[in-house]
Structure 1
Amino acid sequence: MALERNTFETITPSRFITFTFPNPSNSSSLLRVAVLDSPLQLTDSPRVAAMLVPIHRESDWIFSTESGHLQLLLSSPGISRLILIGSDRSADAHHSPPIYHRPDQNGTSCNEELGVSEKLKPLLLALSPKCCFKFGIPEIPILCYEDNVVSSVVLERCVGSLVGEMVVEDVEIESGAGEVSKREFRRRLRFKRMPNLVQTEVRIVPKTGFGFDCVEFGEIEFRLDNSVLVHPYLVPMVASLSLVASCVEEQIRSGFRPKALCLGVGGGALLGFLSAHLSFQVVGVEADGEVLRVARKYFGLEDGEHINVHVGDAIKFIEKLAFRVNERTAGSIFAYEVEDGSESCDMGDGNDVHTKFDVVLADLDSSDAGDGIIAPPFEFVRKHVLLAAKSVLCDNGIFAINVIPPNRSFYTTMIHEFREVFHELYEIDVGNGENFILIAVVSPVASATSDCENSFLNKLRMVVSGAYLNSIKKI
């Protein structure tokens, strides 16, 4: 389909157009051009920026899908139109190598690598809206995407009934610099609906007999190393357990395992860590059964004596569970209602989920890429959901939730909703400029940070950075 000459003269929110264009640096090749207008009405003087796709990553969902493009745009504040330009490799897509290696740029920038920065200027001006020319010819910055991926290999692509297409991949990432640098390998799970967000990440190491110096994807086998949590917000989420250390210690001394409910399983790294390293009895809830299959096959999730996983919607699950807990409490008055349609949540006969929990941990993100990367989803921050969560907690329990706020207003509203239900609130700033861990407690916290006799707290200090334990603040 031919493009009209005036197609790009105005900003049309959320409009996404892709086309091919002759490469000005190589007449025998084509460029793939994608133009996305922001869904947000920014200013009367829109800003345009271009981004060059890294060589050999043209097929990555981050650069080849509208959802990936949208996340790139939303992570570039103040940009009204983002123009993405990369080599068109559609002709050899079926023959592209399965293993990606970052090109050795020898000190050159990605602009110089493509050799098109200046030659693209007429195209970029033609793709800019008329209003950008009010005060002369505009400057259009060319952005260069950079991340820490050195090489990668796709292990499997599959489709979940709810999350859609997903990919499991092993990656080598940059770690350290200079003399202290070492090779670091991870296994990742990403969803096509939000490819810029790594849903699950665990460490992998070469199997016995292989040194790191000779490691190459496709040539050796890796094994999982679940002794550490590498996802940036999981460690501070575990650090929140220090607030219930005294109660957990009492249970352990009485011969009982503390109990955790995890809303959102993904690859299951958090569930396995809680069970193996902190002796928790864990119940997990995941909306998509295919995600659980992937978690078992690639990320070491094991259902067993101390881990019990259910397929279902987290909100419906916790409301059903709260209903059952309250049903067992004589004369209880329900402070919330279970919504219609909750039968879609598989809880079995309920005999295996019949108790209250010491901690509820929620790691849920919005399923709508149009909202940007948001956690938790808007529908989760509702009073009836928070009341349900409180109902399934012990008297000294805590509710810790991973938060990626789209703006300050969202976070302020969320804190207000939690204050209406819980006794006290605490917060951990993950320190990546994105995530916060919000912690709500049912009862006032009994300080145990100075209790040298608390074996659970001592164990927690061994597996969690002291910086996170010390950064928990009351809000």
Structure 2
Amino acid sequence: MSLDTSKIETLTPSQFITFTIPNPITHHCYLRSPLLRVAVLDSPTPISDGNPPSIAGMIVPGHRESDWIFNTESGHFQLLHKFPNISRLILIGNNPQLTSGPAIYIRPPVIVDNEKLEEELKPYVIALHPTECFQDGLPPEPVFLKYEDNTLYRVTIYRTIGPVVGEFIVEDVEVESNSDGNKDFRRRLRFKKMPNLIQTQISIVPSIGGLGDLGLDLVSLRKRNEVEFRADVEVLVQPYLTAMVSGLFLIVSYLDRRIQQGFVPRALCLGVGGGALLSFLNIRLGFRCVGVEIDEYVLRIARMFFGLSDGKGKSIRLIVGDGVELIENVARRRREVETRGDSNVSKDILDGKFDVVMVDLDSSDATKGVSSPPSETVRKTVFQAARSLLFDHGVFVIKVVPCDELFHKKVIQQLKDVFHKVYEIDVGNERNFVLVATVSSIASNDNNNDLYIKMRYAISGAYVDSIKEL
């Protein structure tokens, strides 16, 4: 695609332009394709009057040119949100090549001449500055941002299109391990509309004839046809899920007493994805779970690749639908039944109340970056509906990645208006929080009961100790 130079002369909120140029680099160890792909993205937020625009370049990591993060508009928006003070982001990388086989990424060796590469690209980045940057002569030397993650190897093992969520993939990855000698293999679910967000991530364990801990990297394992990978759903690898489960410690004594009396604790989860949260609650902690997912294709993939097990006689039940609409409809039907004095409320689709309602829903608006929950979820009627589905000792747990401070405060205030108390857990990962709201006052917990010990063994205690009342 050729470039209409008039479009780059001014900053236009959310403007996205891509084009190719002949490769000008004199050495091709990194930028090796005959044509380079250039993408220009302007921030959705206009700069304040009097402030000079901040322009930055980024060299697309080698062998990741076909990754949605670096070749889709939504991916670029999410990249830009990682650097909130940038007015225009300019990405330069190899022109992606279409392949019929599975997408494979192997981290290349560290570039020793990265400074030389940036030096050669500076004139092209400067040429893509808006005209206002040249009012006092040449603009300052352009800044080059770097994208880094812990992925060593990644292969796409399944790709499909859901009727609601659109195109998504399942991929197996090897990531840098914190433990000596042990390999860290994971399976991930990613949506094209939010490519920088890992929707679900679980641990996978390779084996040959039942023998585990083979000591091989993922590249070597995939070359052996007899290797099988087992989904390990008894471990949570996404920190925010551990924080969400930690919210149960507020009512652990209540739950333990109910279990001792023969009751099985119940959880309602809005947003399933690959089902890591449901599987953990069910298998590791003994909960009966109901999960609501808007796209039936996602549930199909969760069963196929992520170890999510439901069906007749199982203690996990899956429902296809909009979770927010569902709980509002159920709450309304229950009010109508109670008004009529009808005893058939137990025949409701959700069949009774819950000990915990958990909400793991993300915004689908890439221009706002990674954020959750969707803004339409933050309504008193939604929180009131959720509260009506809880036992008196129950808790409401929601993941919050605020797009700004105002949104964060709004979620907290809406919860305070509906629930008895609100608590917060700082996940410590890119403004990631978990809010826990209680229906009633909490009695002092017995830290020696069976469920407490089981939960302490199952998850890290760091988030438990960081729970604070707001």
Q: CA deviation at 1:139?
A: 1.8
Task: Indicate the SS of the match to 2:56.
Answer: strand
Instruction: Indicate the SS of the match to 1:213.
Output: coil
Give the Cα separation in 2 of the matches to 1:410 and 1:146: 28
* Aligned counterparts of 2:351 and 2:213: Cα–Cα separation in 1: 48
Determine the structure 1 residue equivalent to 2:299.
292
Query: 1:159: how far off?
Result: 0.5
Which residue is equivalent to 1:409? 406
CA distance in 1, matches of 2:102, 2:388: 52
1:405–1:159 distance in 2 versus 1, CA, 3 Å? same
Structure 1 CA distance, aligned partners of 2:356 and 2:422?
14
Q: 1:203 touches 1:226 (CA, 8 Å); kept in 2?
A: yes
Return closer, same or farther for 1:253/1:330 CA change in 2, 3 Å cut-off: farther
Task: Report how far residue 149 of structure 1 moved.
Answer: 0.5
Q: How far off is 1:354 after superposition?
A: 2.0
Distance 1:203 1:2, change over 3 A: closer
Q: Which residue of 2 aligns with 1:445?
A: 442
Task: Give how far 1:244 is off.
Answer: 1.3
Aligned counterpart, 1:213 = 215
Partner of 1:30: 35
Q: Does 1:471 align with 2:466?
A: yes
1:47 counterpart (45, 54, 62) = 54
Q: Match of 2:14, as an amino acid?
A: S
Residues 242 and 428 from structure 1, CA distance in 2 versus in 1: closer, same or farther, beyond 3 angstroms? same
Structure 1 CA distance, aligned partners of 2:23 and 2:413? Answer: 54
CA 1:325–1:456: 2 relative to 1, 3 Å: farther
Q: Which amino acid aligns with 2:105?
A: Y
Separation in structure 1 between the aligned mates of residue 458 and residue 203 of structure 2, nearest angstrom: 15
Q: How does 1:385-424 map to 2 (within 5 A)?
A: 385-424=382-421
Conserved 8 A contact 1:275-1:281:
yes
Could you state the TM-score of these two structures normalised by the residue count of structure 2? 0.91
Distance 1:404 1:322 in 2: 27
Deviation of the 1:416 alpha carbon: 1.0
Decide which moves more: 248-257 or 128-137. 128-137
Q: Following TM superposition, by how much is the alpha carbon of 1:95 offset from its aligned partner in structure 2, in angstroms?
A: 5.8
Query: Hey, what's the Cα distance between the residues in 2 that align with 1:210 and 1:108?
Result: 37
Distance 1:50 1:34 in 2: 10
**Residues 405 and 136 of structure 1: is their aligned pair in 2 closer, same or farther, counting only changes over 3 Å?**
same
After TM superposition, the structure 1 = structure 2 runs for residues 326-475 of structure 1, keeping only pairs within 5 Å, are 326-330=335-339, 351-448=348-445, 450-452=446-448, 454-475=449-470
Q: State whether residues 249 and 452 of structure 2, in contact with CA within 8 Å, keep that contact through their aligned partners in structure 1.
A: yes
Counterpart position of 1:156: 158
| Cα RMSD after superposing both structures | 1.9
CA contact (8 A) 1:42 1:78 kept: no
Q: Deviations over 1:286-307 (max 9, x none)?
A: 0000100110000011114210
In structure 2, how many angstroms separate the alpha carbons of the residues matched to 1:4 and 1:265?
44
Query: Structure 1 residue 84 and structure 2 residue 91: aligned?
Result: yes
Q: Structure 1: any 5+ residue segments left out of the alignment? A: 333-348
Indicate the residue corresponding to 2:145 in structure 1. Answer: 143
Distance in 2 (CA, whole Å) between partners of 1:74 and 1:422 is: 32
Task: Look up the equivalent residue of 1:313 and give its one-letter code.
Answer: D
Report what 2:112 is aligned to.
108
Amino acid at match of 2:153: S
* C-alpha distance 280-210 of structure 1, shift in aligned 2 (>3 A): closer
Q: 1:263 to 1:97 in 2, by over 3 A?
A: closer
Q: 1:442 to 1:147 in 2, by over 3 A?
A: same
Query: Structure 1 residue 223 and structure 2 residue 225: aligned?
Result: no
Instruction: Give deviations 1:222-246, integer Å, cap 9, x for gaps.
Output: 1111121001100110011111112
Q: Name 1:338's counterpart in structure 2.
A: none
Conserved? CA contact 1:425–1:439, under 8 Å: yes
Instruction: Tell me the distance in 2 between the aligned counterparts of 1:48 and 1:451.
Output: 54
SS in 2 for 1:186: strand
User: Aligned to 2:317, which of 262, 283, 308?
Assistant: 308
Shift of 1:427: 0.7
> For 1:214, what is the secondary structure of its paired residue?
coil
Which amino acid letter does the alignment assign opposite residue 266 of structure 1?
Answer: G
The residue type equivalent to 1:101 in the other structure is I
Q: Per the alignment, in what secondary structure is the counterpart of residue 335 of structure 2? A: helix
TM-fit CA distance, 1:352: 4.9
Equivalences, count = 449
Unaligned runs of 5+ in 2: none
Q: Secondary structure at the match of 2:132?
A: helix
Q: Is the 8 A contact 1:206 1:215 kept in 2?
A: no
Structure 2 CA distance for partners of 1:85 and 1:240, relative to 1, 3 Å: same
Which letter maps to 1:470? D
User: Structure 1: which amino acid aligns with 2:104?
Assistant: I
**Structure 2 equivalent of residue 238 of structure 1:** 245
Once the two structures are TM-superposed, the CA of residue 89 in structure 1 deviates from its matched residue by 3.2
Alpha-carbon distance between aligned partners in 1 of 2:269 and 2:37, rounded to the nearest angstrom:
42
Give 2:201's aligned amino acid. E
Q: Cα 1:73–1:173, aligned 2, differ >3 Å: closer, same or farther?
A: same
Q: What TM-score do the two structures reach when normalised by structure 1? A: 0.90
Indicate conservation of the 8 Å contact 1:373/1:404, yes or no. yes
Q: Which amino acid aligns with 1:171?
A: V
